[in-house]
Amino acid sequence: MKRPILHRLGLVVAVLASGLGAAGCGKPPAMGKVDTLVVLTANDSLWNRLEDTTRAALEPTVFTVRSEQKFYVEQADTASSQVAHLKLFRQVVVFGTPDNGLVRKIASAAGKPPTAPSVIQARDVWATDQLATAVVLDPKDEAGSWRSQLPELDSLVDAEYRSYVHLRMFVSGEDTANEAKLRRTLGFGIQFPAVYRVDTLTDSVVVLVNDNPDPSELIRSVLVAWRPSLDTLTAAAAYGWRRAVDTVYYGVPQAIDTAQGTVKRMELHGRPALEGTGAWRDVGTGYPAGGPFIARLVQCPDRTYFLDGWVYAPGKSKYQYVIQVRDILDSFSCGAGG
């Protein structure tokens, strides 16, 4: 279904246009959010045919406590009067054949020929701190080459977003001193930003907390606990452990809902692991606090570790914070070795 063009970007474009005169001779800084994709199409009729397919590929939903879009697509024809300003956004995607001027500009910046079909990316093409992507269409089969390259485009866009979130998480630096202390004294490794607080609650439970700038607005928490090795890793054990720790270590009892969660077996740095996801909510407080959680069991040589990461971000998109917590969980490793 055709959406109003630039319904989310109109105000930003207007502000940008009014301020371009002050940008000087150099490239202006990129505008907009990293989860917004400005899609420029040389063939608007082709976009009308493929809009639903493109949005399904580039705007997938993820479940946190509700379904959330990972990205937001805003499209305009390259003949639009707004294109000069839209080219300055952080993530710009151009669909066009090899003779398209915008496609050729991106390919030139990347030092590659605009060969069809291909996906070409270059940084800082029209603005600084920008990623521009050209989806080069086959002139003999524009629709087919458009569809066939959507998975690669989605993969590249998702990787860029995850990299951005990871770098943003560590803008305060990495807490290498406390990481080394945990390895030395408690026998496991995990990487986390310096802004996190380390609470060693018992000799077998550690909680890493980031409640900056205000815990009423945003909390990211990771708990690490361990027991003698379990015979098998099961979803029942992971969720049972999650129910046991929330009342004791999180201050306020939390009920968990696993109905829309997922369970998967995995390996974490070569060790067998199991992950279960779901949603939590505070109980007995009269305040509807809640959010997503990720619970993991990791089988180490002499212990089974339990890891629980959860997010509280009322009124905000939670996807980026879930990525941050997952990155910390993914860094966990057994043993005191570095």
The pLDDT assigned to 4 comes to 42
Q: How far apart are CA 109 and CA 127, in angstroms?
A: 12
What confidence score (pLDDT) does residue 336 get? Answer: 66
Reported as type and span, the H/E element at residue 328 is helix 319-330
List CB contacts of 157: < 8 A, sequence separation 6 or more: 37, 58, 71, 91, 93, 133
Three-class HEC string of 10-56 = HHHHHHHHHHHHHCCCCCCECECCCCEEEEEECCHHHHHHHHHHHHH
Residue 246: φ, ψ to 5°: -65, -40
Residue-wise pLDDT for 179-216, tens only, equals: 999 999 889 999 999 999 998 777 889 999 999 888 88
Q: Strand, helix or coil at 284?
A: coil
pLDDT digits (tens, 9 = 90+) for 44-100: 889 999 999 999 999 887 766 667 788 899 999 888 888 999 999 999 999 999 999
- Round to whole Å and give the CA distance between 289 and 183: 33
**What's the confidence (pLDDT) of residue 201?**
76
Number of other CB atoms surrounding residue 91 within 10 Å: 23
- pLDDT (0 to 100) of residue 21: 41
Instruction: Classify domain 173-334 at the CATH class level.
Output: alpha beta
d(CA 253, CA 245): 9
Please identify every stretch of the chain with a pLDDT value under 50, giving residue numbers as ranges: 1-8, 10-25, 338
* Domain layout of the chain by residue ranges: 10-168, 173-334
Distance CA 279, CA 240 (A): 14
